[in-house]
């Protein structure tokens, strides 16, 4: 090998070339600046050892866990439950324990990138400045061409429920009147139902459930989707409570129940009405409560007596009369008795109406405003923040949609019919999408139409952690921080706790929080066209967390300063029993079995039964796609720990149906209807009924799997009142199946 050196000696003759190479290299190295000699030798500042930070899981989930992030030398090592959080009590779910894995996935979006053409997989890395310039240019161009920002549409929802993430809405508002996706795909039919009934939706402190003697879990699966509630349910059981689960699927929750009732999907109202009839027939209704606090009892009683029989209810629901009797008897005689209604149950064309029918059970038995009783659904009573991050008005002179009062407003599209509406809009058409905290590519109904909608845009910007089905169809992806990389504050729509989310690690790569993106885009817009955006152009993220607090929040949570949350999470000092004063906020001030408001909105005034959707002849099976165990929608399932634990989606099929279709365990099955198809492996199980097939929505790594290929955007019956648009009947999805 010595000759190598000698050879290089000869090469001295070509010194010119060599020098050139060295010079080029030196110049390049200086430019790249990847590593540099520190200006002065300083002692390393990063050797901070092990630190812990309070974080809050920001996912769209009942439990909104308090977390402790353990960071060693600036690297997130593990994530545990916060023992001082009174609801989650130091425990996390299977997803929560995978966060270190998720944060350091090499698959994360690292830099702003531009895809041309859209969907080609041909990506170019750009600087934040370039990306923001392209985006700002397009925004200003649209504004110029159409005279307003209405061609720009925002679709943002529940990817991160941290309060500071409302900066996205704030950013759009401060650019001008625009178009945005209004509504929520989750829970709106049930919210409206409770508003018609009681004037508002307000669940008990869920820790209250321990005081109940009879708990009916109606269409909720806390064993997968609210694990901490199971502890409270077990506690109630240990104190002698009976637990009933009513669900079309025999869930893990159902296996913990004293009584499980398998119901035909979407017929819950009929079961509740059958129960009500039995209760009235046996004189177990609370006449005093009905007299004092309920509007419309005579009308409803008449309906029950004329239209409802147990045999009728049994025929519709598939639940034997014997079971209805047992259930009604148990509910009406074992007090306090509690109803908890899940969100899956109201994703039907009669979902809101069914919730109203179940609520009615609590009303006629006087179980509202009672410790250990009530009809639990959700609340937003702890969300009274300033929403400072979205408190900026459009620039002066902005033009938008002219309202009836002559003032300009934003234009809305239905989030739950997003694909169709975004394509149908005219004057002006929608030309640009901003998507953050949302993955319509896999979570919206009719995946094909979503793709078409994306294709009809001039520009699609997706802000996300991973290149999911939506980001794949974007022109520009922007990397955003995880909740370990940006500060925030979180509350829940179920329990009464509030947690601070401290920044635990530096952002990976060039990830920015939604707030930082808002600042940066505002800065760019103002550079290009001064005054075009009212959003602040810089700030301190921690300070902005502080700006969300007000005296009301402080009083509610019994704290003096938000920084106190760094010591421990706080619980709202709300009454633990909702409606204890029976002061309902309905127009009549009473619980309204008869709602004029519902009638005025074109709905049945009473919780009468609205027939469930019937299966068309060519697609005779219902296809349920409820929430998964290993994922939260399209989050989590793609990471290594989850792929090991749950490598592929399975279609749960009853053995009878499988036999009729010649399907064996493990066979590939095609699930299809007019809209599209899904292919996956069969798992034969009697946990699902014979006329229903089940799989769980998720985004698997390197997989095109998407349950929403067969789901049509059929609206639920309610939702408009509170969220602006009706919910989606995700579970009114009918298909046929065949072996591949």
Partner 1 sequence: MPKQLGFHHNMANCIGCKSCQMACKNEYELEAEVNWRRVYPFREDPGTPERNFLSVACNHCENPECARVCPVGAYTKRADGIVEQNHDKCIGCRLCTMACPYGAARYSPAHRKASKCELCKTRLDAGLKPACVEACPARALTLVDLDQFAAPGAVKSVPGFPNSNITNPSIRFTPPVVGKQFRRDA
Partner 2 sequence: MIDAGVAAFCETRLALFYLLQRAYAAPMTPEVTHDLNDALSLYGELINVELPPCEGDADEAEFNRLFVGPGRLPAPPYESVWRSEDRLLMQAAAEGVRSVYLEYGVQNTYPEPEDHLALELEFYALLQYRVLNGEAPHRHLAAQQRFWTEHLSTWVPAFCQAVEESTSSPFYRNLAVASRRILGAETTILPMLPSAIPAEEEPAHAKSV
Q: How far is the CB of 314 from partner 1 (least distance, A)?
A: 10
Closest approach, Cβ 328 to partner 1, in A, equals 13
User: Of 318 and 715, which CB lies nearer to partner 1 in the complex structure?
Assistant: 318
Binding partner of residue 528 among partner 1, partner 2, none, CB cut-off 5 to 8 Å per kind: none
CB of 479 to partner 2, least distance (A): 8
Among the listed ranges 23-31, 182-190, 551-559, 594-602, the one in contact with partner 2 (CB under 8 A) is 23-31
What's phi and psi for 695, nearest 5 deg?
-140, 170
Q: Is 130 in the site for partner 2 (CB under 8 A)?
A: no
Identity of the residue, 223 or 453, whose beta carbon is nearer to partner 1 in the bound complex: 223
Nearer to partner 1, 272 or 678 (CB): 272
The vertex-264 CA angle with 260 and 268, nearest 5°, equals: 80
| The one segment of 30-38, 223-231, 355-363, 728-736 that binds partner 2 by CB under 8 A | 30-38
Question: Does 238 engage in binding with partner 2 (CB under 8 A)?
Answer: no
Q: Work out what residue 690 binds among partner 1, partner 2, none; the CB cut-off runs from 5 to 8 Å by kind.
A: partner 1
Binding to partner 2 by residue 704, rule CB under 8 A?
no
User: CA distances (Å), 122 to each of 115, 125, 441, 474, 693, in order?
Assistant: 6, 10, 19, 11, 38
Least CB distance to partner 1 at residue 283 (A): 25
Local structure of residue 724 (DSSP, 8 states): S
283: contact with partner 2 by CB under 8 A: no
User: Out of partner 2, partner 1, none, which partner does residue 686 contact, by CB within 5 to 8 A per kind?
Assistant: partner 1
Beta strands in 219-270 (DSSP E): 242-247, 259-262
For partner 2, the binding residue among 80, 137, 326, 510 (CB under 8 A) is 510
Task: Select 219 or 445, whichever has its Cβ closest to partner 1.
Answer: 219
Parallel, antiparallel, or unpaired: how do β-strands 66-72 and 50-56 relate? antiparallel
What distances in angstroms separate CA 142 from CA 147, 152, 234, 488, one per listed residue?
8, 8, 57, 33
Report the partner that residue 665 touches, choosing among partner 2, partner 1, none (CB closer than 5 to 8 A by kind). Answer: none
Choose among partner 1, partner 2, none what residue 685 binds, the Cβ cut-off being 5 to 8 Å by kind.
partner 1
Q: Is 480 among the residues that bind partner 2 (CB under 8 A)? A: no
Residue 100: strand, helix, or coil: helix
From the list partner 2, partner 1, none, which binds 78 (C-beta under 5 to 8 Å, kind-based)? partner 1
Is 8 a binding residue for partner 2 by CB under 8 A? The answer is yes
Q: Which does 15 bind (CB under 5 to 8 A by kind): partner 2, partner 1, none?
A: partner 2
Does 485 sit near partner 2 (CB under 8 A)?
no
Contacted entry of partner 1, partner 2, none for residue 632, CB cut-off 5 to 8 Å set by kind:
none
**476-479 vs 113-115, strand pairing mode:** antiparallel
Output 339 or 473, the one with its CB closest to partner 2.
Answer: 473
Q: What is the DSSP string of 447-482?
A: HHHHHHHHHT-SEEEEEESB--TTGGG-SEEEEB--
Identify the residue among 207, 472, 485, 514 touching partner 2 (CB under 8 A). Answer: 472
Q: In sequence order, which residues have a C-beta less than 8 Å from that of residue 530 and are 6 or more positions away?
A: none
Tell which one of 70, 84, 90, 111 touches partner 2 (CB under 8 A). 111
Rule CB under 8 A: is residue 73 a binding residue for partner 2? Answer: yes
- Give the other-Cβ count within 10 Å of 197's Cβ: 27
Closest CB to partner 2 among residues 36, 144:
36
* Degrees, nearest 5: CA angle 682-684-690: 105
**CA–CA separation, 330 and 214 (whole Å):** 7
**Applying CB under 8 A, does 49 fall inside the site for partner 2?**
no
Q: How far apart are CA 381 and CA 399, in angstroms?
A: 34
Report if residue 587 touches partner 2, rule: CB under 8 A: no
Alpha-carbon distance values, 228 to 58, 63, 84, 376, 432 (Å): 16, 7, 14, 16, 41
In SS3 terms, 258-287 reads as CEEEECCCCCHHHHHHHHHHHHHHCCCCCH
565 binds, among partner 1, partner 2, none (CB under 5 to 8 A by kind): none
Q: How far is CA 243 from CA 254, 340, 362, 367, in A?
A: 9, 11, 16, 16
Q: How far apart are CA 270 and CA 310, in angstroms?
A: 9
Q: Contact residues for partner 1 (CB under 8 A)?
A: 77-81, 90-94, 96-98, 100-101, 223-224, 227-228, 230-231, 234, 250-262, 264, 318-320, 322-323, 629-630, 640-641, 643-645, 654, 656, 685-687, 689-690
Strand order in the sheet with 432-436: 123-125, 113-115, 476-479, 459-464, 432-436, 149-156, 178-182, 411-414
Token code pair at residue 99: 């966060």
β-strand partners of 500: 489
The nearer residue to partner 1, 80 or 137, going by C-beta atoms, is 80
Per the structure block, which two tokens stand in for 606?
A: 């009473």
Pick one of 508, 572, 593, 694: the residue that binds partner 2 (CB under 8 A): 508
Inter-residue contact 183 to 416 (CB < 8 Å) = yes
Distance CA 674, CA 629 (A): 29
The verdict on 393 binding partner 2 (CB under 8 A) reads no
Structure tokens at 632: 């939260």
Cα 164–169–171 angle (5° rounding)? 90
The residue length of the chain stands at: 740
Q: Which is nearer to partner 2, 350 or 646 (CB)?
A: 646
525 is a contact residue toward partner 2 (CB under 8 A)? no
Work out whether 38 is an interface residue with partner 2 (CB under 8 A). Answer: yes
Shortest distance, CB of residue 227 to partner 2, whole angstroms? 24
d(CA 631, CA 643): 10
Of 77 and 125, CB closest to partner 1: 77
Identify the residue among 104, 312, 383, 387 touching partner 2 (CB under 8 A).
104
**Smallest gap, in angstroms, from Cβ of residue 383 to partner 1?**
25
SS (H, E, C) 563-590: HHHHCCCEECCCCCCCCCCCCCCCCCCC
Residues in contact with partner 2, counted by CB under 8 A, come to a total of 64
Residue 479 or 676 having the CB closest to partner 2: 479
Residue 127 as a binder of partner 2 (CB under 8 A): the answer is: no
Reading the block at residue 148, the tokens are 């307003």
Kindly state whether residue 448 participates in binding partner 2, applying the rule CB under 8 A: no
Q: Among 69, 113, 263, 461, which residue interacts with partner 2 (rule: CB under 8 A)?
A: 113
Q: Is there binding between residue 467 and partner 2 (CB under 8 A)?
A: yes
- Does position 106 interact with partner 2 (CB under 8 A)? The reply is yes
With CB cut-offs between 5 and 8 Å by kind, which of partner 2, partner 1, none does residue 57 bind?
Answer: none
Residue 117 as a binder of partner 2 (CB under 8 A): the answer is no
Q: Which of partner 2, partner 1, none has residue 645 at its interface (CB below 5 to 8 Å by kind)?
A: partner 1
Q: What letters, b where the CB count within 10 A reaches 16 and e where it falls short, cover 135-170?
A: bbebbbebbeebebbbbbbbbbbbbbbbbbbbbbbb
Residue 351 interacts with, from partner 2, partner 1, none (CB under 5-8 Å by kind): none
Residues at the interface with partner 2 (CB under 8 A): 1-2, 4-9, 11-12, 14-15, 17-18, 20-22, 24-26, 28-29, 32-38, 41, 43-44, 46-47, 73, 75-76, 101, 104-111, 113, 121-125, 467, 471-472, 477, 479, 508-510, 640-641, 701-702
């Amino acid at each position: 090998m010595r000759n190598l050196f000698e050879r290089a000696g000869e090469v001295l003759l070509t010194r010119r070339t060599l020098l050139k190479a060295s010079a080029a290299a030196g110049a390049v190295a200086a430019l790249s600046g990847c590593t540099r000699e520190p200006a002065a030798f300083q002692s390393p500042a990063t050797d901070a050892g092990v630190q812990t930070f309070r974080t809050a899981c920001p996912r769209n989930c009942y439990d909104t866990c308090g977390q402790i992030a353990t960071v060693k030398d600036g690297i997130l090592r593990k994530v545990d439950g916060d023992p001082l959080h009174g609801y989650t009590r130091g425990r996390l779910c299977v997803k929560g324990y995978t966060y270190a894995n998720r944060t350091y996935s090499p698959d994360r979006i690292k830099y702003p990138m531009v895809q041309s053409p859209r969907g080609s997989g041909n990506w170019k890395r750009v600087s934040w400045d370039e990306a923001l310039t392209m985006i700002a240019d397009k925004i200003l161009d649209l504004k110029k061409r159409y005279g307003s920002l209405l061609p720009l549409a925002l679709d943002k929802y529940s990817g991160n429920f941290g309060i500071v993430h409302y900066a996205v809405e704030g950013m759009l508002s401060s650019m001008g009147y625009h178009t945005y996706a209004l509504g929520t795909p989750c829970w709106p039919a049930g919210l409206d139902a409770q508003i018609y009934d009681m004037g508002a939706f307000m669940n008990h402190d869920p820790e209250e459930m321990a005081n109940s003697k009879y708990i009916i879990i109606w269409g909720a699966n806390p064993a997968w989707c609210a694990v901490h509630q199971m502890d409270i349910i077990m506690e109630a059981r240990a104190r002698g409570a009976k637990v009933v689960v009513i669900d079309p699927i025999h869930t893990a929750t159902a296996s913990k129940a004293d009584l499980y009732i398998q119901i035909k999907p979407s017929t819950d109202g009929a079961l509740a009405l059958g129960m009500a009839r039995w209760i009235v027939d046996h004189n177990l209704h609370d006449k005093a409560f009905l007299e004092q606090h309920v509007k419309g009892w005579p009308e409803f009683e008449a309906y029950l007596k004329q239209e409802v029989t147990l045999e009728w209810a049994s025929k519709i629901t598939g639940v034997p009369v014997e079971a209805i009797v047992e259930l009604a008897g148990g509910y009406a005689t074992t007090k306090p008795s509690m109803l908890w209604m899940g969100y899956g149950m109201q994703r039907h064309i009669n979902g809101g109406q069914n919730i109203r029918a179940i609520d009615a059970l609590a009303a006629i038995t006087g179980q509202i405003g009672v410790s250990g009783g009530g009809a639990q659904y959700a609340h937003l009573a702890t969300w009274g923040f300033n929403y400072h991050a979205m408190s900026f008005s459009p620039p002066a002179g902005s033009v938008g949609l002219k309202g009836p009062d002559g003032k300009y407003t934003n234009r809305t599209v239905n989030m739950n019919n997003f694909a169709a509406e975004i394509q149908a809009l005219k004057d002006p058409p929608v030309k640009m999408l901003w998507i953050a905290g949302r993955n319509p590519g896999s979570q919206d109904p009719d995946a094909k139409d979503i793709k078409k909608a994306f294709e009809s845009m001039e520009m699609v910007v997706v802000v996300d952690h991973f290149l999911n089905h939506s980001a794949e169809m974007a022109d520009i992806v922007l990397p955003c921080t995880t909740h370990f990389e940006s500060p925030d504050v979180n509350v829940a729509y179920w329990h009464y706790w509030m947690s601070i989310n401290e920044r635990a690690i530096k952002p990976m790569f060039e990830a920015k929080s939604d707030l930082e993106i808002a600042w940066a885009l505002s800065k760019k817009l103002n550079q290009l066209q001064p005054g075009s955006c009212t959003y602040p152009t810089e700030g301190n993220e921690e300070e902005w967390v502080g700006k969300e607090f007000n005296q009301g929040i402080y009083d509610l949570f019994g704290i003096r300063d938000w920084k106190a949350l760094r010591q421990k999470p706080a619980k709202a000092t709300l009454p633990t029993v909702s409606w204890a004063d029976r002061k309902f906020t309905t127009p009549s001030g009473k619980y309204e079995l008869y709602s004029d408001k519902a009638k005025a909105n074109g709905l049945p005034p009473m919780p009468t039964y609205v027939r469930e959707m019937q299966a068309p002849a060519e697609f005779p099976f219902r296809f349920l796609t409820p929430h998964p165990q290993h994922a939260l929608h399209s989050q989590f399932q793609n990471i290594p720990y989850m792929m090991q634990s749950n490598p592929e989606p399975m279609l749960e099929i009853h053995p009878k149906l499988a036999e009729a279709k010649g399907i064996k365990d493990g066979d590939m099955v095609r699930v299809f209807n007019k809209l599209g198809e899904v292919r996956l492996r069969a798992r034969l199980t009697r946990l699902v009924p014979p006329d229903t097939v089940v799989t769980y929505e998720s985004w698997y790594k390197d997989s095109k799997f998407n349950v929403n290929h067969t789901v049509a955007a059929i609206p639920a019956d309610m939702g408009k009142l509170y969220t602006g648009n009706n919910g989606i009947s995700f579970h009114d999805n009918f298909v046929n199946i065949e072996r591949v």
